[in-house]
Chains A and B, each alone.
Chain A
């Protein structure tokens, strides 16, 4: 089975090719949907087989590299088209293909009747292929193909409704911001390649070879530079400060896209990449600190913005940014397992929430459409009381919300708690730990608050939608609710595989599973970790209870403000208008970026356009053309078509030739 790992990205590629080239001719939505979903489902089956086989092997043998062919060979540089299967990539392919299959299935219902149905499925399959390449790539270059491919698909799918200007703008924004990150990724790649080549004469970009040679890397120095560059790439792809602003705008895409790409899989690529190169990152303590700080800052920052948004998908988008911040926090404190664990649970509950919100939007849209109203179907202020109309959506959404809020025993509790505990107890950042933990805890509180605000505004209270169309709010069809139920189930129980040791009810399967991948990293970490600080189990229990309390506090605040005392939010807003305005406008970060980067770039571009391009470049080009035109206008006079003019020319020529011979 391991030998057939190449099948995993191949199926979505075939699906993409069929739907991309013939989808327009097929027309039948059922067939197109079946092809798209079937392709990724086949990958899922293969992934399951691979996982089974990996489980059957002893832990140290769980690394397998499949070389397809040599892709580039130039001098010392060699890049194979090769796939790497190890516990980490196995987790990732399971998440990508599993969640991907559900979302494909969901899309059949959600995208029903859309103009570019086939296009959507083709892009979705292309995305899955790229994402699988990214997680399976055995060297940085194959990973980079996937890295770029998912960026492209993200662009294509955000701009799916390209006739809408805002969608096109959002797509461009996402693409450009990702380019900034990709640039960092490439520089990091080159730095690492160059360092190994020139200092150790190991010319490689292969992860396993780098891992084998990683003991040669120094602590800090060039590694810091390389890893910081990689981290820039990660911030671009995973929407961290400072490159996060594209993700909320990416909600212009269809909701399944938001669920698959902008919540469950693509945006976690940065986390995955750091996990994949943990043995390099851990050698750069400064970078680890930067990662942790940026992660924590993003977690709290995005969470605050999430509290004031009214668009249901935007809240989820900021929530995603915030949760990604948690993952980076985990990476930065050396808790790679916890980060990947949170990545997985987040994929479950966030995908479920996005799909649930899609279901709500779907229902709202139909109801509003029925009544010929033009209210925004995504605005939570129009919703309310939907739990009666959409029970399945409500239940799945509710359990996912409990999961993200970190309520025991839902999956988010285990992963988030693990992160917070590691932030508190990790041996790397000294006194910064308290700050990291505190920030994370407050962010968790905010998370609980805004997520329950969302739930209360959407599903509880009185329905604020126009009463005319109230009766047309229906539960979505089965094809939509089945993925919701599966994901809701996973969001509920997914955490048990990574239960903390202190609980002891179940062994921490997840940690055991990923141990071989991160073993080396923790070994390197020991050389500069502060030793001695040993925390008792009681403290861990205490913090665990504390984080539940924090979540409950957030929920209670939301309950008070949005269910019991519904006038309170307005009161709060009128008390602190400036604060509310700042939060509502996302701390004016977009405006700041416009001012700092976009507008100067535009002016510079304008300058180049009007100054350089029009005057100099066009001047040269047009000048050449004018010169030629001038010459030809002069020469055209010679070709009058009059025989006698030609005769004259001939006579003059004869005279000239004669003169040459006579006066020579």
Chain B
């Protein structure tokens, strides 16, 4: 049987790649997708642990994460559209209003 570490490391790799994406990209939608990827990496961890511990709680958690992700997608994308309406752009370089 496959060791749990294989899943965990895969999850870690995906999470790291997601982080890199969030930090290095300028397009807000791509950043958003990277966040989704990070969430999925965590989901994978949950399910792997659930399997190896013989407990379904982890999977229930994944269920909730997905719910939150769906809500996040709805609100986040609405925000992006609103931002685009104002600035004609969804480039994070244009999100600089925190300076003042």
A contacts, CB < 8 Å to B? 639-644, 646-648, 651
- Among A639, A643, A648, the one with the most B-chain Cβ atoms within 10 Å of its Cβ is A643
B3 at the interface (CB under 8 A from A): no
User: When the two chains form their complex, are residues A651 and B99 in contact, meaning their CB atoms are under 8 A apart?
Assistant: no
User: When the two chains form their complex, are residues A639 and B99 in contact, meaning their CB atoms are under 8 A apart?
Assistant: yes
User: When the two chains form their complex, are residues A640 and B96 in contact, meaning their CB atoms are under 8 A apart?
Assistant: yes
User: When the two chains form their complex, are residues A641 and B96 in contact, meaning their CB atoms are under 8 A apart?
Assistant: yes
- Among A639, A642, A644, A651, the one with the most B-chain Cβ atoms within 10 Å of its Cβ is A644
Within 8 A of A (CB), among B70-100: 92-93, 95-100
Closest chain B residue to A646 by CB distance?
Answer: B98
In the complex, how many residues of chain B place their beta carbon closer than 8 angstroms to a beta carbon of chain A? Answer: 13
A interface majority secondary structure: helix
Residues of A near B96 (CB, < 8 A) are 640-643
B23 at the interface (CB under 8 A from A): yes
B contacts, CB < 8 Å to A? 19, 22-23, 26, 31, 92-93, 95-100
Cross-chain pairs A/B with CB under 8 angstroms, 17 sampled: A640-B96, A640-B99, A641-B98, A641-B100, A642-B95, A642-B96, A643-B92, A643-B95, A643-B96, A643-B98, A644-B26, A644-B31, A644-B95, A646-B98, A647-B22, A648-B23, A651-B19
Residues of B near A640 (CB, < 8 A) are 96, 99
- Cβ of A633 to closest chain B Cβ, rounded Å: 15
Q: Contacts A641-B96, A642-B96 known; list 9 others, CB within 8 Å.
A: A641-B97, A641-B99, A641-B100, A642-B93, A642-B98, A644-B23, A644-B92, A644-B93, A651-B19
Residues of A near B98 (CB, < 8 A) are 641-643, 646
Closest chain B residue to A641 by CB distance?
Answer: B99
Q: Provide the bound-state CA to CA distance between A304 and B96, in Å.
A: 84
Residues of A near B99 (CB, < 8 A) are 639-641
- Cβ of B98 to closest chain A Cβ, rounded Å: 5
Residues of A near B93 (CB, < 8 A) are 642, 644
Closest chain A residue to B94 by CB distance?
Answer: A642
Residues of A near B95 (CB, < 8 A) are 642-644
User: When the two chains form their complex, are residues B92 and A642 in contact, meaning their CB atoms are under 8 A apart?
Assistant: yes
- Among A639, A646, A647, the one with the most B-chain Cβ atoms within 10 Å of its Cβ is A647
- Cβ of B39 to closest chain A Cβ, rounded Å: 16
Q: Provide the bound-state CA to CA distance between A641 and B92, in Å.
A: 11
Residues of B near A639 (CB, < 8 A) are 99
Q: Provide the bound-state CA to CA distance between A651 and B23, in Å.
A: 8
- Cβ of A658 to closest chain B Cβ, rounded Å: 12
Q: Provide the bound-state CA to CA distance between A198 and B19, in Å.
A: 83
Closest chain B residue to A639 by CB distance?
Answer: B99
Residues of B near A648 (CB, < 8 A) are 23
Residues of A near B19 (CB, < 8 A) are 651
Q: Provide the bound-state CA to CA distance between A173 and B99, in Å.
A: 57
Residues of B near A644 (CB, < 8 A) are 23, 26, 31, 92-93, 95
Closest chain B residue to A636 by CB distance?
Answer: B99
Residues of B near A647 (CB, < 8 A) are 22-23
Listed from nearest, the 6 A-B pairs whose CB atoms lie closest are A641-B99, A641-B96, A641-B98, A644-B92, A643-B95, A642-B96
Q: Provide the bound-state CA to CA distance between A639 and B97, in Å.
A: 11
- Cβ of A641 to closest chain B Cβ, rounded Å: 3
Q: Provide the bound-state CA to CA distance between A503 and B23, in Å.
A: 115
- Cβ of B62 to closest chain A Cβ, rounded Å: 22
Closest chain B residue to A648 by CB distance?
Answer: B23
Closest chain A residue to B19 by CB distance?
Answer: A651
- Cβ of A642 to closest chain B Cβ, rounded Å: 5
- Among A642, A647, A651, the one with the most B-chain Cβ atoms within 10 Å of its Cβ is A642
Q: Provide the bound-state CA to CA distance between A423 and B87, in Å.
A: 102
Q: Provide the bound-state CA to CA distance between A639 and B92, in Å.
A: 15
Q: Provide the bound-state CA to CA distance between A648 and B21, in Å.
A: 11
Residues of A near B97 (CB, < 8 A) are 641
Q: Provide the bound-state CA to CA distance between A648 and B19, in Å.
A: 10
- Cβ of A649 to closest chain B Cβ, rounded Å: 10
Residues of B near A643 (CB, < 8 A) are 92, 95-96, 98
Q: Provide the bound-state CA to CA distance between A180 and B93, in Å.
A: 69
Closest chain A residue to B25 by CB distance?
Answer: A644
- Cβ of B58 to closest chain A Cβ, rounded Å: 22
